[in-house]
Structure 1
Amino acid sequence: MGKHDFLTPKAIGIRMKSKGLQKLRWFCQVCQKQCRDENGFKCHTTSEAHQRQMLIVANDPNKFMSGYSEMFEEAFLENLRRRHGTKRMRATHVYNEYIADKMHIHMNATQWETLGSFVQYLGRIGKCIVDETEKVIKDKKTREREETESDANCSGKRHAVGAIMEEDERHRNKKSRRLEEESKCLRKDNWVVTGIVVKVMNKKVGDGQYYKCKGAVKDVEDKFCASVELLDSGDVLRLDQDDLETVIPKPGRKVKIVNGLGRGCTAKLLNISVADFCARIRIDSGSHRGEILDRVEYEDICRLADEQS
């Protein structure tokens, strides 16, 4: 048989089902997005929209879990009230009706591990009259065996929010390790380059008259020897990079990354931590454009000569 036409009821129904209930492990409760396979879920968890949502959740995870629990409870009881009223029903039957809605709140995003614990909760707070039937009453040995297996598999079922946060944490750690390795590869002994402003730190240069004077690097020879034109006097000095020090501008100014990750790129200085002698920057050029680096040492960045102080 041929395929159904695009706008036929059958084709529409198939598309709705394909976008609905699928594997739970590929569902992102935080973003309310169902992915169709593992690759799609991986792409979603690395997307900018998902990262923004995870930052919001990470600020107060208990608040989100409580919210999901409340929505799950309200929707479950609403389904029970509308379809069955005060009739005596099996919890599994009501639950299967509830999850038929593809936009339902998944139980593993709530505070309840199992349907049984949720039903017992409803009985304790008096919202439902709960009784155990012969079908669900198990003998003591069976219960003990299940509890032992549950303890042995302590990794078992995790909350959806917690699982997503763990995956997000692994992704950040992996990215951090990659950036750290790349930073080590780009770190060199020489850092002085043309187009930056440096400070003279050798008291013996000019008998001390140039000590702590700032100048622009005009030329570099043999990677370590720089020709520096002083900003105040206009004098040109030939100095080794050991006699110089990087100059850190005010936050909001452009800087040059002279060593480590992003070496050779320009960046924006976001803020400075005087106590830790480090800065926070955003790379504005190169392959890492847009990335924000925290705790960048003063020695790795320098003010640009064409930036006004």
Structure 2
Amino acid sequence: MGKADFLSPKAIGNRIKSKGLQKLRWYCQMCQKQCRDENGFKCHCMAESHQRQLLLASEDPNQFMDYFSDEFKRDFLELLRRRFGTKRVHNNIVYNEYISHREHVHMNSTQWETLTDFTKWVGKEGLAKVDETPKGWYIQYIDRDPETIRRQEELERKKKQDLDDEERGAKFIEEQVRRGKDGREPEEAPTFTELIRENEEEKIAFNMASSSVAGPSKPSSLLGASALKAPAGATAKRKEPSSASESREKKKKSALEEIIEMEERKKKKQMSASARTENWLQPNIVVKIVTKKLGEKYHKKKAVIQEVRDQYTAVVKLVISGDKLKLDQSHLETVIPAPGKRVMILNGEYRDTEAVLEGIDEKKFSATLTLDSGRLKGKRVEGVAYEDFSKMP
């Protein structure tokens, strides 16, 4: 009987059946072949290709099991990361979505007998957070991607900077209030004098003009000379403290001027922060290997960067042995030479500038440098952090 036409109902039905999932009992993991029924699976087991595959597996069964286990673990965690992110989800929900793919690796061909065993193993290895509840096991993916960690650190740094700005603003307002209270002069208690009339026929008149607006009231010309007579030295003494307070107020900065200065300092700080970058690797600088993954042979050894790749990866050559290694930026740190040696500034406003190390401040973990190249040659820069410069070979 000939093969059914491509657009015939039978051919279309066969293609629909082949796309869907079939029973697991008719699936051969070694050959990765899915049979539709028991008769097809029996014929496949009698085939020469299946027998040859079984002979290969019998030589080293652990190798095949490890391969299937690694593939199952990788695909399961990749689905968990891509589909659910860092959300806490039931492990059975993830597994049901995983096995819905036709080409997935079945669990019965791995080293784990049940999904619970696999979930416990993932938690023990630290690949995800797992916890057991009355409803079953829940799993939560741990994202250790360097880009994600960098974004989280940047968000935390920005949040901390905003909090610092708010605290500085609150302290500034408290300082202004305190200065206002300290600069306020104590109110003088009113002094009462006895009114004496030397001539009974003389009329007494009081000038009730707006004394509070015009300032200190002047003695009325209609009053008797003897009635409001006061020592001449008293008025002079009263004027002296007022003139001193006026000069003191002139010397003090106004609140607006202090706010403007604070904004300028904030802008300078933001400009210096914007000049900084996450990557600091530069060719022809001396660095120190800090990772222990390469063994004691390379740990704490000095090397010279030969080439920088993708901004965060460097090809280094060891100073003593001459071995070449390819390392990430996180596995390296800068080297601080003795005073008088040449260094390269790696970050900040003077990035890519050669300089001479003048001195080191161990308490502030910073150094003083004299620029030795560029248009600012000869300028002395203080407070450069240890991680912002490194020794030159």
TM norm. shorter chain > 0.5: no
Is the radius of gyration larger for structure 1 or structure 2? Answer: 2
Normalising by structure 2, what TM-score? 0.36
Normalising by structure 1, what TM-score? 0.45
